[in-house]
Amino acid sequence: MTQYFRNDTPTRRPDRKECKHYYSYLGTLRADFNQRCGYCDDLDRLRIRSFTIDHFVPQNPKDFKHDIPPNFYYNLVYSC
């Protein structure tokens, strides 16, 4: 029997509006990630206040230089 990690794969919206601050994407990311953590697939219904937005590529890496802006939608993950 095959077990899958998640039943619904997160889907990024191509029509999302660009926001000045990354936290403005919280509602959109929550919907895109099916109200589940992007890393562990935990459902947020029981502890929604502990869910936040994570930058997949860290904002301030010490040994890794990049030019990804902090509000780049495709670098954001809805996470617990």
Query: What is the model's pLDDT at position 34?
Result: 92
User: How many whole angstroms separate alpha carbon 65 and alpha carbon 74?
Assistant: 18
pTM over 0.85? The answer is no
Split at pLDDT 50, 70, 90, the class of 57 is: confident
List pLDDT tens digits, range 4-29. Answer: 777 788 888 777 777 888 889 999 99
The domain ranges of the chain are: 22-79
Q: What is the mean pLDDT of residues 40-68?
A: 83
Residue 2: the pLDDT is 67
* pLDDT value for 49: 76
Residues whose CB is less than 8 angstroms from the CB of residue 14 and which lie 6 or more positions away in sequence, other chains included: none
